Amino acid sequence: MGDNLKLGVLLLLLLAAGWAILVIPLPFAREVAFVAGLSVLVMAAVHERYVFLYAMSAILSYGAFLTFYAFLTGRQSVSELPYIYSHLLLTAFLLLYWVLLNKIKHIGYEKDELKRQIGLLQKYTGHSELLTANEFIEQAAWIMKAGERKKEQAWFVEISLEHESRRTRDSLMASLERTIKNTIRQKYDLVTSVNDTIYLLLKDTDEAGAARVVERYHENLRTELNLLEPPFRVAAVQAMDLGQLAAALGRSS
């Protein structure tokens, strides 16, 4: 049975129970309707671990009240049936609503997990087409292992935007990301962007090679933005292990 059908059936049963509470002239019908309406708000507001506890507390409390009331009034077994029906209706309403809430929350959790898995599988960000942070780390792991075998260096470069105006910050960051794609060696070096920082992993190069990439980036930006002073700071270090890269990206996320 599909989720939509299950939700539809639960909702119909819940509405039927609510309709019966409002329409059928049972004892304490007004009070039961008030408790049911209040429970809808309370069960939706409290933490999920307390929802079932609240429902059972309300059911048992109402049952205890009816038992005590029947004892005080000396009701006979036959005359107690309307009270039993009233208790059953409230029980059905609260349990159906609890099941419905659980189902809705379960669907929400599945949706969040699906989004998380899609994010892990996604290789490129939408607008800039740079690598996602997760994909950057995964490809960096392969580059680091290959570099160890071949005795090759890899250099890690951080380009951090320093611009106070929030109005122009986003457009400036977009220009920095667009320019960096035309600066690095395509399908050879890695680049990602987290918040206001661009990260590069330059494969098979040394300190002088990293400096040339940074200088070329400066020149490309001057051509595009016509700025006298670059609106960012640059830090370049030799990439020694994957934890170094993951820690840097973690600080910016």
Query: In this predicted model, what pLDDT tens digit does every residue of 85-116 receive, in sequence order?
Result: 999 999 999 999 999 999 888 888 888 777 76
Note whether residue 144 is domain-resident: yes
For the ranges 13-22, 190-199, 229-238, which has the lowest average pLDDT? 229-238
pLDDT tens-digit readout, 146-166? 888 888 888 899 988 876 666
Q: Which of 60, 95, 121 is the last residue of a domain?
A: 121
The Cα-based distances of 107 to 10, 43, 101, 104 in angstroms read 14, 17, 10, 5
Q: What is the spatial distance between Cα 200 and Cα 181, in angstroms, rounded to a whole number?
A: 10
Largest Cα separation within the chain, whole Å, is: 98
Angle 69-75-78 (CA atoms, 0-180°, nearest 5)? 125
Asked if residue 159 and residue 108 are part of one domain, the reply reads: no
What pLDDT is recorded for position 166?
A: 67
Domain shared by 96 and 140, yes or no = no
Asked if the structure places residue 8 within a domain, the reply is: yes
Contacts of 54 by beta carbon, 8 Å cutoff, 6+ apart: 39, 42, 43, 46
193 in any annotated domain: yes
- Give a yes or no: residue 50 inside a domain: yes
By the 8 A CB rule, do 203 and 130 touch?
no
Are residues 145 and 165 both part of a single domain?
A: yes
Dump pLDDT digits (tens) for 117-131.
666 556 666 666 788
Does residue 141 sit in the same domain as residue 233? yes
Parallel, antiparallel or unpaired: strands 154-161 and 197-203 = antiparallel
pTM here is 0.53
Q: Is 97 exposed, middle or buried (0-12, 13-18, 19+ CB in 10 A)?
A: buried
When divided into structural domains, the chain yields a total of 2
- Token pair in block for residue 210: 């990293």
Q: Of 65, 86, 121, which residue constitutes the final position of a domain?
A: 121
One domain, residues 113 and 187: no
Cα 71 to Cα 74: distance, rounded to the nearest angstrom: 5
Judgement on whether residues 77 and 156 belong to the same structural domain of the protein: no
List, for residues 198-223, the tens digit of each pLDDT value: 899 988 888 898 899 888 888 888 87
Cα 199–chain centre separation: 24
Residues 112 and 140 in one domain: no
> Is 149:157 a contact under the CB 8 Å cutoff?
no
Query: Which CATH number do you get for residue 199?
Result: 3.30.70.270
The share of the chain scoring above pLDDT 90, in percent, equals 26
Residue-number span of the structural domain to which 178 is assigned: 133-252
Q: Tell me the C-alpha distance between 196 and 176, whole Å.
A: 10
154-161 vs 190-194, strand pairing mode: unpaired
Helices 3-23 and 29-45: crossing angle in degrees, nearest 10, is 150
User: Of 121, 156, 188, which residue is a domain's last?
Assistant: 121
Are 141 and 81 found together in one domain?
no
